Chain A
Amino acid sequence: MHLILFIVFAGFCLAGAVNLLLQTHPINSALSLIVVMTSLAVLYLLLGAEFLAAAQVIVYAGAIMVLFTFVVMLLNAGREERTRGSRAARAVGFPAVVVILAVMATVILYAQGLGVSSVRDGITSTEELSAVLFTRLLLPFEVTSVLILIAILGAVSLARPGNGEPQGGADLQSGADPEGSVERTGGK
């Protein structure tokens, strides 16, 4: 049962990730990413991480992906055009990807004593997790709340109208219509 679940959801995961690369429309890529994240939640459950499985569905597949689909719809993102990409990506990037994957696969396959994940292993309860999180790691936990607050403030100030173009926006972007940006800056 464990093995079947792993094979099915690892397959979903890889299929979703490959589909993310193959799709040209951003909304299809976003939906593929949701498939990947939900399958990962099942894999977390197989590894006994019940809290993280729930958090994966709620935070990643829920909150973050809603934000992504919202932005895709807000900006009316259309089909992406396929270009040849940069020379640096072709010369360094693709060999680097192959090397990274090869090195990691070799290390993992030759690693000794990795063992197996079995149904008999207990799951880490939320209680154990929170006992550590709220005693020994209380300060980092509180600091993340400050981080979230700063992120909210940053997102609001960045996305506010009239912030996209700098003051000297017209001469920075000589090609893009200067009338439009002047008009929008004036309307502020």
Chain B
Amino acid sequence: MSSLLWEEVPISWFLLLSAALFSLGVLGFLIKRNLITVFMSIELMLNGVNLSFVTFAHQWHTVKGQIFVFFVMVVAAAEAAVGLAIIIAVFRARATLAVDRIDLMKL
């Protein structure tokens, strides 16, 4: 029985970890003041969501969740490429990465 105990992980623990990663991503999005780090926090949120997709795919013995994660990865790669290009363009125009100084559209 004790050996069986070590071989099993409750599904809810994976989901809790996923929720914690997502919340840390949101928190990073709010408190970080560097454009690149804010972007990294978005990647952290995407990873948290991916973990719950894989967990539910495991729970219901289906591959659909994993395929969804595959597409999320593709979109994340495209998003990273375009987003970092935008960051380079912003840096070239404003010569700063601090989000407080990029306030042209602020009311």
Query: How many CB-defined contacts (below 8 Å) exist between A and B?
Result: 264
* B interface residues, how many (CB within 8 angstroms): 76
CB pair B9–A49 under 8 Å, yes or no, is no
Give the size of the chain A interface in residues (CB under 8 angstroms). 92
The residue on B at minimum CB distance from A115 is B11
Chain B residues with Cβ under 8 A from A159's Cβ? 85, 88-89
A28 → chain B closest CB, angstroms: 10
Residues of B within 8 A of A156 (CB): 85
- CB-based nearest A residue for B88: A159
B24 close to A18 (CB less than 8 A): yes
Q: What CA separation (Å) do A116 and B37 show in the bound complex?
A: 35
Q: Mark A81-107, 1 if CB is under 8 A from B, else 0.
A: 111010001000110110011001100
Does the CB pair B74–A147 fall under 8 Å? yes
Contacting pair B63 A80 (CB below 8 A): no
Asked whether B93 is an interface residue with its Cβ less than 8 Å from the other chain, the reply is yes
Do B84 and A68 touch (CB < 8 A)?
yes
* A178 interface residue per 8 A CB criterion: no
Chain A residues lying within 8 Å of B8, measured Cβ to Cβ, are 2-3, 116-119
**Given A49-B54, A80-B33, A101-B23, is A37 in contact with B88 using a C-beta cutoff of 8 Å?**
no
Cross-chain pairs A/B with CB under 8 angstroms, 18 sampled: A6-B13, A33-B43, A43-B54, A49-B54, A52-B50, A55-B70, A60-B47, A71-B88, A72-B36, A75-B91, A104-B22, A114-B10, A129-B63, A140-B71, A150-B78, A158-B85, A164-B88, A173-B94
Residues of A within 8 A of B (CB): 1-4, 6, 10, 13-14, 17-18, 20-21, 26, 29-30, 33, 36-37, 40, 43-44, 46-49, 51-52, 55-56, 59-60, 63-64, 67-68, 71-72, 74-75, 77, 80-83, 85, 89, 93-94, 96-97, 100-101, 104-105, 108-109, 111, 114-121, 124, 128-129, 132-133, 137, 140, 144, 147-148, 150-152, 154-156, 158-159, 161, 163-165, 169, 172-173, 176, 181
Q: Can you name 19 extra interface pairs (CB under 8 A) apart from A82-B33, A116-B11, A155-B84?
A: A6-B13, A6-B14, A13-B17, A14-B20, A20-B40, A21-B32, A33-B40, A47-B55, A47-B57, A51-B66, A71-B87, A72-B36, A77-B34, A83-B98, A124-B63, A124-B66, A129-B70, A132-B63, A161-B92
The 5 closest A-B pairs by CB, nearest first: A164-B92, A151-B78, A158-B85, A164-B93, A104-B19
